[in-house]
Structures are given as structure tokens and as C-alpha cells.
């Protein structure tokens, strides 16, 4: 995501980040507005392994939602440049013959009131 933000212009219409729910205050407020109370939050760290940069790129596109559609409208040479830049950014994450991307998620539990 950082690579894309660095290489592409900002979207014309601001959209909420997919990472906004990593903030307990944001997630807690949404749960409360949906009728849940007493939320608890537990961070969970994990790693994602990819055989190569192409596998990472494919996984990114599969999970990127609306960004995938926007990227598909770029000229082919711009798409190739972006894919190459992402591969360069992965260099620091080399793990064996592939790549390991460390990640974290926030697990929330709450009661419906």
C-alpha cells in the first residue's frame, strides 16, 4: 500500500482506509453504533508467506477491492512499473527463497445489547 501511495496520485474521492479498524477507538465506536457493548480487543500478529513477488502481487490484487479496479484502468506500462516497484519494496522481506510479510490484526469481541 505504501508503494502504491508513493507512486500514484491521490484518489479524486477520499475513501476510508482498509486499516482504520486497527484502531480500537474506531472499531469500538462502530460496534457501539451497531448496538454492541463491552468490546474487548486483542491484537494478533501473524506472517504471510509468498513464493515470489508475483504471488504477493496476485494476493494483493485479490484482497485490494476497489483498488484492483482502479489499477486495472492504468495503462499497461504504468501497471508494469508499479508491479516492479512493489517487487523492489519486497527485497527487505526476503525469507528463504520467497518473502514473508509480517502483519497484525485486531480481534474484537462484544455483546449485542
CA 85 to chain centre: 17
Nearest to 108 by CA among 43, 45, 49: 43
Residue-wise pLDDT for 54-111, tens only, equals 999 999 888 877 778 888 888 999 889 999 999 999 999 999 999 999 999 999 999 9
- List CB contacts of 1: < 8 A, sequence separation 6 or more: 19
How many CA within 13 A on the CB side of residue 22? Answer: 10
Residue 110 corresponds to which cell in the numbers above?
462484544
Task: Tell me the pTM.
Answer: 0.76
What does the CA dihedral 57, 60, 61, 63 come to, rounded to 10 degrees? 160
Residue-wise pLDDT for 20-40, tens only, equals 899 999 999 999 999 999 999
Amino acid at each position: 500500500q505504501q508503494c502504491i501511495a508513493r507512486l500514484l496520485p491521490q484518489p479524486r474521492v477520499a475513501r476510508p482506509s482498509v486499516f482504520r479498524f486497527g484502531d480500537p477507538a474506531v472499531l469500538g465506536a462502530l460496534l457501539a453504533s451497531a448496538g454492541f457493548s463491552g468490546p474487548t480487543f486483542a491484537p494478533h500478529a501473524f506472517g504471510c508467506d509468498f513464493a515470489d513477488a508475483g504471488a504477493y502481487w496476485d494476493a494483493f490484487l485479490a484482497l485490494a477491492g476497489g483498488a484492483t479496479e482502479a489499477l486495472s484502468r492504468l495503462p499497461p506500462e504504468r501497471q508494469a512499473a508499479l508491479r516492479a516497484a512493489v517487487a523492489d519494496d519486497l527485497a527487505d522481506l526476503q525469507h528463504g527463497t520467497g518473502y514473508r510479510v509480517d502483519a497484525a490484526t485486531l480481534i474484537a469481541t462484544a455483546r449485542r445489547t
